[in-house]
Amino acid sequence: MPPFQMPAEAIADEVKNFQEKLMGGVSNLLDMPEVRVGITPHEVVYQEDKVRLLHYYCDETSAQAEPRNPIPLVVVYALINRPYMLDLQEGRSTLRCLLEAGQDVYLVDWGYPEAAERFLTLDDYLNDYLDLCIDKVCEVTGSNQVNLLGICQGGTFSLCYSAMHPEKIKNLVTMVTPVDFQTPDSHLSHWAQNVDIDLLVDTLGNIPGALLNWTFLNLKPYQLMGQKYLNMVDMMSDKTLLQNFMRMEKWIFDSPDQAGETFRQFIKDFYQANRLINNTLQIGDYQVDLANITMPVLNVYAEQDHLVPPSSSKALKHYVKSDDYDELVFQGGHIGIYVSGKAQKMIAPAIGAWLSEHP
């Protein structure tokens, strides 16, 4: 049997169908209002420069109005991309699920660094901004400690913070967090080894979000730069699917620039020298030693994560000294863990339950 069986007429028919779908879909797209993201009510309880601390609460329609866990939960997102991924839309909100699981949820929003922020260091981000936010949460709630949930790069930050200030952290949850930055299956780590980071930062100052985006799209270029947009044509007749697509698209290309000095240290110390697990990481006056992490730890990772390979996250258990270390595996990818229907039912409720079981 020949491997390809399509008469010319069938090809022309397929093209005709494709064009009709495309044209009809474009009409739908033009009809669509600009998508809205970030749906859960919240207020700004503290601001320091461009960094904001947001407090989330349930609206009247929610079954769970008051938090049941007296220990507040501080969510730390990455500097890369925006944290509204955690609160994308109705039915796809990790933050909403955490509220409904009885947690008192605060989120650190790092904002969009500008030229004036180029000299911000990891010491500024962690021992100043994050520390001030956590102190503020303790002051507002009357609690001596907080639960910390770090996501992706924010998870790495949470590990560093918990190692430097263990007395302030009751429980630590890391989600799709790189720990071993040099696992053999990590494309990002492999690519970073031959890049002259000093030259890059000295030349550009802040690192443009577009540069990072280009790098991330190159992880799966055939899917992310091509096939995805043909898939979009297939779904453009369904306005709900189209809106979901547009929300994701908005998030993917909403990439803040990175403060130059922080980027320099993050790539050199973490990706190029793997200092977090080599016990040679210095942030400000602190030597970061993961062995200081003795509080309960829940490590959540995604089995099909193309950005942070599971092997990189799972390394954590070898370095922390917690007697109460758990893992939660999600059968999906780096993005699906926040937004998929499966994750909404499984991940955030499980994190909420785990935190409530660790009062």
Applying CB under 8 A, the residues found at the interface with another protein are 1-8, 10-12, 14-16, 18-19, 22-24, 26-27, 29-30, 34, 49, 115-116, 118-120, 124, 128, 184-185, 187, 190-191, 193-196, 199-200, 202-205, 208, 210-211, 214, 217-223, 225-227, 229-230, 232-233, 246, 249, 253
- Minimum distance from residue 232 beta carbon to another protein (Å): 6
- CA atoms of 70 and 137, how far apart (whole Å): 12
Query: Among 174, 169, 138, 124, which Cα is nearest to 292's?
Result: 169
Burial class (CB in 10 A: 0-12, 13-18, 19+), 158: buried
Contact criterion met (CB below 8 Å) for 333 and 302: yes
Contact criterion met (CB below 8 Å) for 281 and 319: no
Beta carbon nearer to another protein, 187 or 268: 187
Q: Are strands 105-109 and 146-151 parallel, antiparallel or unpaired?
A: unpaired
- The string over 198-216, giving b where at least 16 C-beta atoms fall within 10 Å of a residue's C-beta and e elsewhere, is eeebeeeebbebeebbeeb
Q: Any residues with CB less than 8 A from the CB of 190 and at least 6 apart, and which?
A: none
Distance between alpha carbon 141 and the CA centroid of its chain, in Å?
26
Catalytic residue among 58, 97, 133, 152: 152
Contact criterion met (CB below 8 Å) for 322 and 294: yes
Beta carbon nearer to another protein, 59 or 185: 185
Q: Alpha carbon of 281 to those of 55, 155, 164, 270, 319: distances in Å?
A: 32, 16, 11, 8, 14
Question: Is 138 assigned a catalytic role?
Answer: no
- Minimum distance from residue 350 beta carbon to another protein (Å): 30
- Minimum distance from residue 162 beta carbon to another protein (Å): 20
Beta carbon nearer to another protein, 61 or 203: 203
- CA atoms of 90 and 87, how far apart (whole Å): 8
Beta carbon nearer to another protein, 77 or 216: 216
Contact criterion met (CB below 8 Å) for 154 and 77: yes
Beta carbon nearer to another protein, 59 or 114: 114
Beta carbon nearer to another protein, 109 or 124: 124
- Minimum distance from residue 137 beta carbon to another protein (Å): 16
- CA atoms of 291 and 286, how far apart (whole Å): 14
Beta carbon nearer to another protein, 175 or 242: 242
3-state secondary structure of 285: coil
- Minimum distance from residue 199 beta carbon to another protein (Å): 5
| Residues involved in catalysis | 152
